[in-house]
Structure 1
Amino acid sequence: MHIRPFQPADEAAVIDLWQRCELTRPWNDPQQDIRRKLGVQPELFLVGEVDGQLVASAMAGFDGHRGWVNYLAVCPTQRRRGLGRQLMTAVEQRLEALGCPKLNLQVRDGNQAVLAFYERLGYRIEPLVSLGKRLIADD
């Protein structure tokens, strides 16, 4: 898989991928999420291609204290080939190069397959409660 930074021409393919992977939600406008990411550390928005086809994405960031990853997606027909692992390794390497000491991520409750994937990569469930507050609504 060829991993590279997201380009604006990738938008439709990335949104389609996110939808096929069931990552989109009515309260999050994926186009708005992309626009916001392109304004902050766009080099940490990565896509993966196989034979010229966009098949994976990851949107990462580092706030100076912790790294985060969102929208990790691998095309359902391309899963179980190590592509998610490759993309997470690329994210981890980029964050580590920025001096990021720890990477956090969130998994929707009940998504056992995704939890198992991250556990295989060395991530552990931490005894935390995730809180959120929307400051700007996506209309």
Structure 2
Amino acid sequence: MNVRSFQLSDYRPLTALLEDVLTEECYEQTMEAFARQLSWDSELVLVAVEQSEIVGMIIGTIDNNKGYYYRIAVLPSHQRRGIGKALIQSLRQRFEQRNVMKILITADEYNEPVLPLYEAMGYASNDFYRSFQKLSIIAG
């Protein structure tokens, strides 16, 4: 498995992955944030590739020297195999390379099921950013 930055050729398989994994409302919000993040900084959108198939993705953003994990998604058939952890670690490295002072996890209603994954990686409840604002508002 390889984690790398999003490339334009990833667009269709990535949107298919998101459609498969996310609810309709979450998908719409995520696509809006995804498009906005690509226009700001595509290096913070990472994909996990296994045998030339996109099996996972994570969207991050930086605002006021804080890094935010916004949305993570892994194909159900590939979950519980370390892909989510690899995506989180890779994005954390990007944040650290940019001297981010604090890393937060966006804890909206859609991310609640994955918060235990972040906790297993050493993040605590005070690292969860609970807001009703969308990414487009947070980093806009």
- Paired residue for 2:71? 71
- The DSSP-based 3-state class of the residue aligned with 1:88 is helix
| Shift in alpha-carbon separation, 1:10–1:129, aligned structure 2, 3 A | closer
Report the structure, 1 or 2, having the larger strand content: 2
Matched, 1:104 2:104: yes
> Counterpart in 1 of 2:61?
61
CA deviations 1:86-138 (Å, max 9, x no partner) are 110000011001001211122344866412111101111138752427988xx
Instruction: State the 1:47 CA deviation.
Output: 0.6
2:123 corresponds in structure 1 to 123
Alpha-carbon separation, structure 2, partners of 1:114 and 1:87:
13
Give the whole-Å Cα distance in 2 for the aligned partners of 1:100 and 1:79.
Answer: 28
In structure 1, C-alpha distance between the alignment counterparts of 2:30 and 2:91, rounded to whole Å: 23
Residue in structure 1 matched with residue 34 of structure 2 by the alignment: 34
Instruction: Deviation per CA, 1:36-65: give whole Å up to 9, x if none.
Output: 222111111111100110001111121242
TM-score normalised to the size of structure 2? 0.81
Asked whether the 8 Å contact 1:48–1:56 carries over to 2, the reply is yes
| Aligned-residue CA RMSD (Å) | 2.7
Q: What is the match of residue 92 of structure 2?
A: 92
- 8 Å CA contact 2:108, 2:130 repeated in 1: no
The DSSP-based 3-state class of the residue aligned with 1:25 is helix
- Bigger-Rg structure (1/2): 1
**Structure number having the greater helix percentage:** 2
83-92 vs 2-11, greater mean Cα deviation? 2-11
Runs of 5+ unmatched residues, structure 2 = none
Q: Is the 8 A contact 1:59 1:72 kept in 2?
A: yes
1:40 match: secondary structure: helix
Distance of 2:82 and 2:75 partners within structure 1 = 12
Deviates more, 1:91-100 or 1:65-74: 65-74
- SS of alignment partner, residue 86 of structure 2: helix
Measure, in 2, the Cα distance between the counterparts of 1:33 and 1:132: 11
User: What is the TM-score with the length of structure 1 in the denominator?
Assistant: 0.82
2: CA distance, partners of 1:99 / 1:134: 20
